[in-house]
Structure 1
Amino acid sequence: PATLGALFDAAARRDPQATAVTQCALDGATRSLTYGELSAARDALAAALRAAGVGPGERVAVAVPRSLEQVVALVAVVTAGGAYVPLDPAYPDSRLEYVLADAAAQVVLVAPEQRDRFTRLLARAGVPARVLVQGERLPRATAVPATSAAGPRDPAYVIYTSGSTGRPKGVVVPHSSVVALLANTRPDMDFGPHDVWVQFHSYSFDFAVWELWGALVHGGELLVPEYALTRSPVDFHRLVRERSVTVLNQTPSAFHQFIEADRHAGEPLPALRRVVLGGEALDLGRLRGWVERHGTASPQLVNMYGITETTVHVTHRVLTDEDFDRGDASPIGGPIPGLAVYLLDDRLRPVPPGRVGAIYVAGAQVSLGYLGRPALTAGRFVADPFAGDGSRMYHTGDLARRTLDGELEFTGRADDQVQLKGFRIEPAEVEAAIRELDGVVDAAVTVAGSGDHLVAHVVGRPPGDLAVPLASKLPAHMVPARVLRVDALPLTVNGKLDRKALAEQAERAEQAERAGAAG
Structure 2
Amino acid sequence: GDDVAPAGTTLVDMFEARVAERGDAVAVRFGDEQLSYRDLGARVHRLARHLIDVGAGPEDLVAVAMPRSLDLIVALLAVLEAGAGYLPIDPNSPSDRIEFLVSDATPVAVVTTSDVEVAFPGSVPVVEIDRLDLSEVDDAPILDAERRAPLTSTNLAYVIYTSGSTGRPKGVLIPHRNVVRLMVNTESVYGFDSSDVWTMFHSYAFDFSVWELWGPLLYGGTLVVVDYFTSRSPEAFRELLIRERVTVLNQTPSAFYQLVEADRVAVDEAQLSLRYVIFGGEALEPRRLAGWFERHGDTSPRLVNMYGITETTVHVSYREIGADLAQGASASVVGVPIAGLRVYVLDRRLKPVPVGVAGEMYVGGGQLARGYLRRPELSAARFVADPFSSDGALLYRTGDVARWVVSGDLEYLGRADDQVKIRGFRIELGEVEAAVLAQDEVAHAAVIVREDTPGAARIVAYVVAHEGMSIDTEALRSGVAVVLPEYMVPSAFVVIDAIPLTVNGKLDRRALPEPVFETRGFRAPSTPIEEIVAGVFADVLGVDRIGADDDFFALGGNSLIATQVVSRLGAALDAQVPVRALFEASTVA
TM range (shorter): 0.7 to 0.9
Which residue number corresponds to residue 214 of structure 1?
Answer: 215
Distance 1:33 1:87 in 2: 24
* Residues 511 and 50 of structure 1: CA distance in aligned 2, closer, same or farther (over 3 Å): farther
Label 1:450 to 1:279 Cα distance change in 2 as closer, same or farther (>3 A): farther
Looking at structure 1, the residues matched to 332 and 367 of structure 2 have their Cα atoms a distance apart, in angstroms, of 23
Structure 2 residue aligned with 1:461: none
Q: 1:321 aligns with which of 305, 320, 323?
A: 323
Provide the C-alpha distance between the structure 2 equivalents of 1:7 and 1:279, rounded to a whole number of angstroms.
26
Q: Look up the equivalent residue of 2:514 and give its one-letter code.
A: V
> Contact 1:132/1:138 (CA < 8 Å) preserved in 2?
no
Change (3 A) 1:362 1:95: same
Q: Which residue of 2 aligns with 1:50?
A: 52
The aligned amino acid for 1:32 is: Q
Hey, what does 2:142 align to over in structure 1?
145
Instruction: Tell me the equivalent position of 1:305.
Output: 307
| Distance change in 2, residues 1:329/1:509 (3 Å) | farther
> Residue 122 in 1 paired to residue 129 in 2?
no
Partners of 1:447 and 1:202 lie apart in 2 by: 30
Aligned: 1:264 with 2:279: no
DSSP 3-state at the match of 2:154: coil
CA contact (8 A) 1:43 1:146 kept: no
Matched-pair contact (CA < 8 Å) for 1:61–1:107: yes
Contact 2:290 2:327 in 1 (8 A): no
Which residue number corresponds to residue 105 of structure 1? 107
Once the two structures are superposed, residues 217-260 of structure 1 have per-residue CA deviations (whole angstroms, 9 ceiling, x without a partner) of 11110001211111111110011011100000000000001101
Q: 1:304–1:51: structure 2 CA closer, same or farther, 3 Å change rule?
A: same
The residue aligned with 1:426 is: none
How big is the shift at 1:478?
6.7
Matches within 5 A, 1:9-20: 9-20=16-27
Q: How does the TM-score come out when normalised to structure 2?
A: 0.70
Separation in structure 1 between the aligned mates of residue 83 and residue 70 of structure 2, nearest angstrom: 21
* C-alpha separation in 2, matches of 1:510 and 1:34: 59
- Describe the SS at the equivalent of 1:370: coil
> Residue 212 of structure 1 aligns to which amino acid in structure 2?
L
What SS does the aligned partner of 1:482 have? coil
Which residue of structure 2 aligns with residue 385 of structure 1? 387
Q: Is the 8 A contact 2:254 2:507 kept in 1?
A: no
Partner of 1:63: 65
Distance 1:448 1:57, change over 3 A: farther
Are 2:499 and 1:480 equivalent residues in the alignment? no
Residues 446 and 106 (structure 1 numbering): CA distance in 2 closer, same or farther, change over 3 Å? farther
Q: 1:131 aligns with which of 126, 134, 143?
A: 126
Alignment of 1:229-240 (within 5 A): 229-240=230-241
Look up the match of 1:165.
166
Q: Which amino acid aligns with 2:172?
A: V
State the Cα distance separating 1:270 from its structure 2 match: 4.3
Deviation digits for residues 322-358 of structure 1 (CA, Å, limit 9, x no counterpart): 3224331211110000000000001000011011111
Match of 1:178 in 2: 179
Name the CA distance, whole Å, in 2 between partners of 1:193 and 1:509: 58
Which of 265, 272, 275 is the matching residue for 1:273? 275
How far, CA to CA, are the matches of 1:39 and 1:367 in structure 2?
28
Q: Which has the higher contact order (CA 8 A, sep 6+)?
A: 1
8 Å contact 1:62–1:109 — kept in the other structure? yes
- CA separation of 1:446 and 1:22: change in aligned 2, threshold 3 A: farther
Q: Secondary structure at the match of 1:369?
A: coil
1:200 partner amino acid: F
Cα distance per residue 1:131-173 (max 9 Å; x no partner): 1111323689899734684211111001111111222111111
Asked whether the equivalents of residues 81 and 142 of structure 2 are also in contact (C-alpha less than 8 Å), the reply is no
Provide the C-alpha distance between the structure 1 equivalents of 2:369 and 2:236, rounded to a whole number of angstroms: 36
CA distance in 1, matches of 2:249, 2:159: 24
Conserved in 1, the CA contact under 8 Å of 2:345 and 2:353?
yes
- Does the residue aligned with 1:222 lie in a helix, a strand or coil? strand
Partner of 2:11: 4
CA distance in 2, matches of 1:445, 1:416: 13
Larger radius of gyration: 2
Deviation at 1:203, TM superposition (A): 0.5
Moved more, 1-10 or 300-309: 1-10
Distance 1:511 1:196, change over 3 A: farther
Letter in 2 for 1:483: E
Give the letter for the 2:127 counterpart. Answer: L
Q: Post-superposition shift, 1:269?
A: 3.1
Question: CA 1:449–1:305 in 2, change beyond 3 Å: closer, same or farther?
Answer: farther
Q: Shift of residue 510 of structure 1?
A: 9.2
- Tell me, in whole angstroms, the C-alpha distance in 1 between the residues paired with 2:313 and 2:306: 12
Q: Which residue of 1 aligns with 2:546?
A: none
Aligned to 1:27: none
> Which structure 2 residues correspond to residues 283-362 of structure 1 after superposition, within 5 A?
283-362=285-364
The answer as to whether partners of 1:383 and 1:390 remain within 8 angstroms in 2 is yes
- In 1, Cα distance between equivalents of 2:258 and 2:385: 41
Closer, same or farther: CA 176–451 of 1 in aligned 2, 3 Å: farther
Name the aligned partner's letter for residue 287 of structure 1: L
Q: Map Cα deviations across residues 420-441 of structure 1 (whole Å, 9 max, x no partner).
A: 9xxxxxxxxxxxxxxxxxxx99
The answer (yes or no) to whether the contact 1:196–1:246 under 8 Å persists in 2 is yes
Q: Structure 1: any 5+ residue segments left out of the alignment?
A: 25-29, 421-439, 453-470, 487-506, 513-519
3-state SS in 2 of match to 1:70: helix
* Secondary structure in 2 matching 1:166: coil
Pairing partner for 1:87 from 86, 89, 94: 89
- Determine the structure 2 residue equivalent to 1:190: 191
- What one-letter code is carried by the residue in structure 1 that aligns with 2:174? V
Over 3 Å counting, the alpha-carbon distance change for 1:356 and 1:217 in structure 2 is same
Query: CA distance change for structure 1 residues 441 and 447 in 2, over 3 Å: closer, same or farther?
Result: closer
Q: Tell me the TM-score normalized by structure 1.
A: 0.79
Matched-pair contact (CA < 8 Å) for 2:193–2:221: yes
Give 1:476 shift.
Answer: 11
Q: What SS is found at the alignment partner of 1:238?
A: helix
Instruction: Give the alignment's Cα RMSD to 1 decimal.
Output: 2.9
Partner residue in 1 for 2:520: none
**Matched residue count:** 439
**Does the 8 Å CA contact 2:181/2:367 hold for their aligned counterparts?**
yes
Instruction: Provide the secondary structure at the position in 2 that maps to 1:20.
Output: strand
Structure 1 partner of 2:486: none
Measured at CA, do residues 152 and 481 of structure 1 come closer, stay the same or move farther in structure 2, by a change above 3 Å? same
**Counterpart for residue 487 of structure 2:** none
Separation (CA, whole Å) in 1 of partners of 2:22 and 2:292: 36
